[in-house]
Amino acid sequence: MDDSLVNLHTRDGEDRALVSKAVGGDRQALEELIHRHQSWIDNVALRMVWLPEDAEDVTQEILIKMLTRLVSFRGESSFRTWLYRILSNHVANMRRRRSERVFSSFAAYGASIDATPDMDPPDPEGLPVDAGLIVEEVRLSCMMGMILCLDRSHRLAFILGAMLGADAGTGSAIMSISSENFRQKLSRGRRKISQFMDEKCGLIRPENPCHCARKAQALILAGHISPGRLLFASGDTARIKEMARHELEVMDDEALARSEEFIRDQPFYRSPDFVRILRDTIDQIPFQRVLSYN
């Protein structure tokens, strides 16, 4: 069954039934709620903070807020919209993460790319993984960095709208802003990323200065890429465009359409088992107390 942001209400009846059971003390229903939503939250968190370990912390914090506020869900919106409002408020107000200090602006990011020398690709014989995965790691890291160059509100609007396919009604409800404001933030985010890629990225224009394979060795030598510990390139996961099940809108701007196609080709990552992670926390206090705590 379709579980995309475009179809928020498709499984909402099931979510509501699980909420009712969980508030009544059904631990299995609560765990099912976490299983249903953890990967989507974790994938948004990852794009907001870049580092997987930071994303795991953020996702755990959001899910704990879900637990402690579950009794306040009144059914005035879909459960996922309600949950994503918690996510939106949390990522807007969380402490500044280390990646946000690194990817502070498109100008600074572009300068760092220009300062990274072109080198021959890494010797495949000396790598612990396939050389193609190293190039993929560079590509995915770079695209993650571009998203980080947006401020938090434009970043979240871009993730929801351009990547996950939320329409203006859904995106505005999640971010608690008007539909027009959401459209404006999404449009600005799209334009900024498109302009950056159009000027720098060899995937968009072969004559552009930055090519993943040429930068890989320099990034390894500088310690930015670790062949033995790839953060993003696994080679065996679904793509956002498949999970979101949402076709790109027709765009007059060819460069913008090309850049967004590459963005939506990023992986949709399987999240850690947050049921296991949170079970240790829940088991420390009575179950009903978890659901009634404010």
pLDDT band at 2 (very low <50, low <70, confident <90, very high): very low
- Across the range 6-25, mean pLDDT stands at 80
pLDDT recorded at residue 258 = 79
Give the integer Cα–Cα distance in Å for 232 and 35: 22
pLDDT recorded at residue 294 = 45
Q: Distances from the Cα of 119 to the Cαs of 211, 214, 216, 225, in angstroms?
A: 10, 5, 8, 14
pLDDT band at 242 (very low <50, low <70, confident <90, very high): confident
The model's pLDDT over 30-73, given as tens digits with 9 standing for 90+, comes to 999 999 999 999 999 999 999 999 999 999 999 999 998 998 99
Considering only the C-alpha atoms of the chain, give the largest distance between any 2 of them, rounded to a whole number of Å.
62
pLDDT recorded at residue 262 = 84
pLDDT band at 5 (very low <50, low <70, confident <90, very high): low
β-partners of residue 210 are 201
Q: How many domains does the chain have?
A: 1
Q: Distances from the Cα of 246 to the Cαs of 105, 118, 161, 167, in angstroms?
A: 29, 36, 10, 10
pLDDT recorded at residue 263 = 85
Range from 78-92, 177-191, 249-263 carrying the lowest mean pLDDT:
249-263
Residue 118's domain spans which residues? 5-292
Give the CATH number of the domain where residue 186 resides.
1.20.140.160
- Across the range 142-159, mean pLDDT stands at 96
pLDDT recorded at residue 8 = 46
The model's pLDDT over 191-211, given as tens digits with 9 standing for 90+, comes to 999 999 999 999 999 999 999
- Across the range 179-183, mean pLDDT stands at 98
Q: Distances from the Cα of 127 to the Cαs of 41, 225, 254, in angstroms?
A: 33, 12, 37
The more confident residue out of 26 and 51 is: 51
DSSP per-residue letters across 160-226: IIIIT---HHHHHHHHTS-HHHHHHHHHHHHHHHHHHHHHHBTTT-TTSSB-HHHHHHHHHHTTS--
pTM > 0.85: yes or no: yes
